[in-house]
Amino acid sequence: MLAKLEYDKGTIIVKGDVHIPFGVYDDRSKCYRVFAYRYRDIINYLNLSGIEYQDEVLSPIPVPFFDAEIELRDYQEEAVQSWMVDRRGVIVLPTGAGKTYVALEIIRQLNVPSLIVVPTLDLLDQWMEKLSIFGDVGEFSGRKKEMRAITVSTYDSAYINAERLGNKFMLLVFDEVHHLPSESFRMIAEMSAAPYRLGLTATMERDDNLHSLLPELVGGKVYELKPEDIAGKYLAPYTIRRIVVPLNEDEKREYETKSTKFREYLRKKGIRLTSPDDFRKVVMRTGFDREAYEALKSWEEARKIAYNSKNKLKALKKILEKHRKDKIIVFTRYNDLVYLISRAFLIPPITYKTDQSERKEIFRNFKKGIYRAIVSSQVLDEGVDVPDANVGVIMSGTGSSREYIQRLGRILRPSGKKAILYELISAETSEASVSRRRRKGLSNSSVR
């Protein structure tokens, strides 16, 4: 009995008189068809069953010898060793801890065709620069469509071209792997036959719990460190200071009016908000329920009052004055507050509207110390190489632990100074519970 394995449009077809327990029998082709990511499982099954087979699945890009010297820290070596046991899995390291170098060492050791998938073009450019130690690197994005032994792609381009890329690489590296389980992006992993898979992130968890798909798509968590595990040795020691700021009387009245309207809608409809899914259900109702739309609009306006309070600006002014000799990043959730702070304190703003050349110029001047502070919305939370800073100020944010850890990571690169992350919270508002949710991934030992 001889089986034959072929790659076909993101799947593997198994021809011959053979049964594949996790496959689906295709009556038209008279063979089993399996998502390509089960390739390694198919091979293991056939080997254990003593079934002879002809394997024509992979058509890998020829690989030169990846000769490079990569110096790793002790925990990076531990991460590599943990991953190499099964050659699958997710490595969780804080922002600034050098996840890229872990991947470089794994690529060097395996010496197989490798596809690195990243969320943004900024990150793509950063990876290509780091990977240049191995020679010519391909870019597979909206700008170029190159395939080399080592290729870097965005999630968008890899998803659109999943069938084309699916049997060309033996190692997949998913940077910011928490993006992968989304309904579209997971097809990158499902339609690839690559037997070796590495996920990198600062936090695996997603609010929608889709991170539960990662063990099947990439492998389970094989190594994890939190910021406090390496702060003081490889990252700057840090303190988190929560400052509770009262709303002024006008803001307090308006906040209460807006938030009450939202709460009354929930009570009227018998809705309890016990999870992010419950809130998403309210959002879905706005499509057919005008009252839901008005209630949600009021809730959003209430949150903006809390996020943008005048007393927060006064507190920020004191922090900026106190840290005149430090490098400061101010984080906000909304762009209108970015521009308000920029105008009030003459701080360069960075938002999604800031073009690449202007952003680079701001970073260059920030690194030189010409600018002592920058202010940004969520565009600095992920995938941007930010010059060293030692003070962060969170004016507003979501309840995401990932966002919080990434913002903390922006100020943890060693600078000879202790890092301080200020968190400004409007008193007697929903911000208190949002703050508790986002800090759940950190030890409380550094919070004051």
| pLDDT tens per residue across span 415-442 | 778 899 999 999 989 888 877 777 765 6
The CATH label, of 3.50.50.60, 2.60.120.10, 3.40.50.300, 3.40.50.150, for the domain at 74-225 is 3.40.50.300
pTM score: 0.85
Assigned fold of 238-247+309-446:
Rossmann fold (3.40.50)
Chain centroid, CA 331 distance in Å: 17
pLDDT at 232 over 90: no
Give domain limits for the chain. 2-56, 74-225, 238-247+309-446, 249-307
pLDDT band of residue 354 (cuts 50, 70, 90) is confident
State how far the Cα of 295 lies from the Cα of 283, in Å rounded to an integer.
Answer: 10
Place of tokens 């913002």: 407
What pLDDT score was predicted for residue 129?
A: 94
Q: How many CB atoms within 10 Å of residue 174?
A: 28
Chain centroid, CA 391 distance in Å: 22
Percent above pLDDT 70 for the chain: 96
pLDDT band of residue 186 (cuts 50, 70, 90) is very high
Q: What is the CATH number of domain 2-56?
A: 3.40.1170.30
Contact 440, 401 (CB under 8 A): yes
Compare 367 and 174 and report the one with higher pLDDT.
Answer: 174
Q: What are the tens digits of pLDDT across the range 34-83? A: 999 999 999 999 999 999 999 999 999 999 888 888 999 999 999 999 99
Q: What are the tens digits of pLDDT across the range 91-104? A: 999 888 899 999 99
